[in-house]
Structures are given as C-alpha cells and as structure tokens.
Amino acid sequence: MQTTKSLTLDDLTSFCVRRGFFFPSGRIYGGLRGFYDYGPLGAELRKEVLDDWWYYFIRQREDIVSIHGCVITHPKTWEASGHIEAFYDYLVTCSKCGKNYRADHLLEDIGIQVSTLTAEALSSLINEKGIKCPECEGELSTPTPFNLMFTTYIGPKRDKLNEAYLRPETAQLIFTNFRDVYYTMGMKLPFGIAQIGEVFRNEISPRGFLFRLREFTQMEIEYFVNPNKLDECPLFEEIASLTVQLLPAELQEKSVDTPVRITLQEAWEKGLIHSKWHAYWIGESLRWLTRIGIDLEKIRVREHMKTELAHYALQTFDIEYYFPFMGWKEIEGISNRGSYDLKRHQEFSGRSMAIEDGDELVIPYVIEPSFGLERILLALITDAFKVIQGRPVLSLNAGVAPIKVAVFPIVDKPEFTRKAREIYKFVKKHFTAIYEEKGTIGKRYYEADEIGVPVAVTIDGLTLEEDTVTIRFRDTRKQIRVSVKELTQTLTKILQG
Ligand code: GAP
C-alpha cells in the first residue's frame, strides 16, 4: 500500500473540490480568500464529526452542559477578554504594489520559525534577511499590529457607538454566560460548558486550504475547577497510562525539536504538565481524535514557550498533526487560562463570578480544550488519503465517513435494478447511502472507494434466486455474502466496527 508520502496540498485541495467536499466560497465570482463552503460530502462529514464530538464530550458525560451563543457579540465582551488590546498579528505592506503580508509568514517562508516577536524584532529580521515583496520585489513597510476581529454595526447608524464584533472565539460566550449556566443548571465544581459554532478572524494571509480561514468552526470546552483542587482529578486514571509524544517548552528553548515519548502520568509527575486536570484534558482530547480515525503516531503535544503564551494563559499545549505538505501544525489548543477571563468579566461587568465549592467561595480556574473543526477535517482527510493497488482510496473511519453504504446492481438490467432500488430505498432509511447502476461494477467500486464509502452492497444473480447480497469492504476489497433479511443488522455491526 502506498500512503500519503508524496501528497501535496494542491492534490488534496483539488481532490476535495472535484469530489464535492469543499468549494471556494463565491467561486463563480472568483472566490473569496479564506472562505470555503462545504459541498454535499463535506457537509455530511462535518455533521458526523460534530455529532460525535457532541456525543463524546457532552451527552455521554455527567459534568458538561452546552450553550449556543450569538455570533454578533456585545463589544464589552472583547474589551474584558483583552481581544481589543491584544488580538493582533503584524502586517507589512509593499510600497510598490500595495500587497499585504503577515510579517511572521514571510520569515516562515524562508525557514525561520517565529512564535512571538516584537515589531522591532520582526523588522530587524526582515531587514537582516533582505526580504522584499514576494510579488514585485518592492520594499516592505515596518510591521504594524493589525487587529483580527471583524467589526459590524448594530442598527442603521454606522458609527463607533453602534460598533460590535463577530466573535473570534466561542470561549468568551461561555464566560459571559457562566453565571447563568451555573445558577440555572445547579452545576457543581468541577464542571464544563461546551459550545460549537462559527467564529471569524480577519486573517492577514489565509492559506493552506482549510488550515487558515477567515470563517471557521470551533468546538470548545471551558472546564471549571477549584484553583486549590487542580490535582484532584477523579478521572485521571482513565488517561494516565496513555503514551504521548511530548515536546516541552524547555526542550524547544534549547532548540530541540524531537519530542519525548512519555505517559501522561509521568509527564504530570515530572512537572511537565502542571496539573492533573490539564493532563486529563490532553488525554481525553487524544482519545477522541483517535476515536474518529486520526493516527496517534502523527500527533505530538507541543508546549507553548513563554514568549508565545497568549495573554490569558498560564500553560498551553498545542495538539499538532504532521501534515506531509506543511509539517507539524496545530489542530487543537489546550490551555490553562487560570481565572483570567472570569476575573476580567467580573471587573468589567461588576457581577461577581465567585461560586461556592463546599465551604469555599472561589473564582474557578479554566482548562480549555479548543478544537478547530476544519483543521481536524484536513487532518482526517490527509490521514485517510491512500493509494491501494494503484487506486485512490479515502480510508475514512466508518463512524465519520460521509456516505456509509453504496448500493449497486451488478449490471444495468431491469430485474437487477428493480431489486437494487428496493434495497437502496430501505438501506437509506438507516444509513447515508448512494446508488449507481451505470458503468462496470469495478469502476463503481473505485468511485465509491475514492469518496470513502466503507462498504458496497451488490445485487447479483444469486440475490434474485436466494435473496442474498454481497458486501464488499473498501479497505481490504474482500467480500462476504449475507441475507437481505439480515442486511441492516450486519451493516450496523460492520459500520460500528
Ligand atoms: N479559545 C481559544 C482559541 O480560540 P486558538 O488557538 O486561537 O485558541 C483554537 O484557536 C483552534 O481554532 C486552533 O487550534 C485551530 O484548530 C483553530 N483555528 C484557529 N485559527 C484558525 C484559522 N484561521 N483557520 C482555521 N482554524 C483555526
């Protein structure tokens, strides 16, 4: 079997567009940079992943509830959160052609990784390396901070007084609703509030297909813990023995880029992960990512160095996936935000954020697993994209595959197509399914393999004689014969693994 070794970002992008997973938004008008619409297969894949996340992190647990907040948000929210002051990237503009660039991306393009640097440091690196405009060789301006929030206006007057922001993260809506959720739902520490939703960032240079978008979907949990009980985690045993590839900040500060293989128990004991609850959420995130089909071997857990920590964070780990065409890239961040957000909202709103935990009154600390849906889909598709016996196969986990079953009559003759359509109608009541009667059966199998359909049901001569069909497996190409009466049960068993 060949794998994704030579897979390029262009291959993957054109595959996703050609097979109806994603389309550049506004494509008929030339597209909009940083915006992708989901096509029919992408929309199904999206739903499968979101539903599984919702089930895994909310429905099956006792300690997490959900909210669904607004996209257009009260401006005070972002003053309190620090986004107005601190949520920016550095912009440089070409003096000749006027093109804009993100300063750190220009350095990244010549192999210099910068996490956080000041405007002065970026400027002197750009000068030192003699970087000019990649389009026209023009001189570049000095880096200036550019706030990433999208602004809009509420009501008919377009002035400063009526300005509001499209949320750049879902997290803040959880903090502004914290008191209401706590009191209405009678929550007890430790507990979490989760949210899925679209967020908007006016990225200076969107790139990497789904990787850096201007509109994307976050799946976030804010998990509230008594600050004095960060190591009292009754769920820790569930993840303690999980071995991860961990790249601590202290190694990166010595320019080491090779992670250590370590269990989460050891990582906590050695003080690499500061609290048990933080280690638990790293483990639980990895368990979910592997559950939906991402290979743990292609995941590393990288700690943020002090210079790159966000203004709110005490300790942050990025869950990074190895993309063959971009290297290690963040698909999820897991931060210990301390009590920064609740304290700031308390200060800006004048409403107390302190809650009871037994006899104590505390402002909880927050551990935040923050997943970016589109980056996870990019990792899933990259991981699943294989060439088996010379043919492209999207080897997606059956649980998230957009189409679960293909139904084919062996040949396009009325006695077969009649029966096949009957079976298709009935299969479709239980699973997402496709039907095709044109072309050779081999060609139809390969087309279904390419869009990740885990199994194909074929109606042939024996079906008409003894009411049985074949089930063909995408990854092994093996076939089994089952009775039509037991088809739903058998497919359910297969698709649940
Ligand atoms: N509430 C914390 C927060 O928003 P973040 O690291 O800025 O943290 C969390 O974002 C996740 O959102 C990232 O791990 C990534 O998966 C996704 N993400 C961030 N910026 C993105 C972008 N421009 N396009 C696509 N996904 C993005």
Residues 280-323 pLDDT 10s:
999 999 999 999 999 999 999 999 999 899 999 999 999 999 99
Q: Reduced to 3 DSSP states, what percent helix, strand and coil does the chain have, rounded to the nearest 5? A: 35, 25, 35
Distance 372 CA to ligand 1 centre (A): 5
Tens digit of pLDDT for each residue in 366-414? 999 999 999 999 999 999 999 888 889 999 999 999 999 999 999 999 9
Distance 74 CA to ligand 1 centre (A): 21
Distance 470 CA to ligand 1 centre (A): 44
Q: What is the pLDDT of residue 376?
A: 98
Closest atom of ligand 1 to CA, residue 333: 14
Closest atom of ligand 1 to CA, residue 203: 23
Q: Which two tokens stand for residue 34?
A: 């940083």
* Least reliable range by pLDDT among 57-61, 135-139, 185-189, 386-390: 386-390
Res 1 pLDDT > 90: no
Ligand 1: does its nearest atom lie under 6 Å from the Cβ of 220?
Answer: yes
Predicted confidence band of residue 9 (pLDDT cuts 50, 70, 90) = very high
Closest atom of ligand 1 to CA, residue 373: 16
If you take atom 12 of ligand 1, which residue's CA is the nearest one? 372
Pick the CATH number of 88-147 from 1.10.3720.10, 3.40.50.300, 3.40.190.10, 3.30.40.230: 3.30.40.230
Q: What is the pLDDT of residue 375?
A: 98
Q: What is the pLDDT of residue 5?
A: 52
CA 217 to CA 207: how far, in whole Å?
Answer: 16
Ligand 1: does its nearest atom lie under 6 Å from the Cβ of 341?
Answer: no
Res 234 pLDDT > 90: yes
What does pLDDT average to over the chain?
A: 96
CA 152 to CA 203: how far, in whole Å?
Answer: 16
Could you tell me whether strands 327-338 and 365-372 are parallel, antiparallel, or unpaired per DSSP bridges? antiparallel
Q: Name the CATH superfamily for 403-495.
A: Anticodon-binding domain (3.40.50.800)
Boundaries of every domain in the chain:
4-83+151-385, 88-147, 403-495
Taking residues 342-346, what's their average pLDDT? 98
Buried b (16+ CB within 10 A) or exposed e, 149-183: bbeeeeeeeeeeeeebbbbbbbbbbbbbebbebbe
Determine what percent of the chain is predicted with pLDDT higher than 90: 94
The fold of the 4-83+151-385 domain, in CATH, is BirA Bifunctional Protein; domain 2 (3.30.930)
Residue type, 33: R
Tens digit of pLDDT for each residue in 11-36? 999 999 999 999 999 999 999 999 99
Residue type, 494: I
Query: For residue 81, is it left (φ>0), alpha (ψ between -120 and 50) or beta?
Result: alpha
Ligand 1: does its nearest atom lie under 6 Å from the Cβ of 330?
Answer: yes
Ligand 1: does its nearest atom lie under 6 Å from the Cβ of 215?
Answer: no
* Least reliable range by pLDDT among 60-69, 128-137, 171-180, 236-245: 128-137
If you take atom 22 of ligand 1, which residue's CA is the nearest one? 212
DSSP 386-436: EEETTEEEE---TTT-S--EEEEESSS-HHHHHHHHHHHHHHTTTS-EEE-
Predicted confidence band of residue 196 (pLDDT cuts 50, 70, 90) = very high
Ligand 1: does its nearest atom lie under 6 Å from the Cβ of 102?
Answer: no
Ligand 1: does its nearest atom lie under 6 Å from the Cβ of 375?
Answer: yes
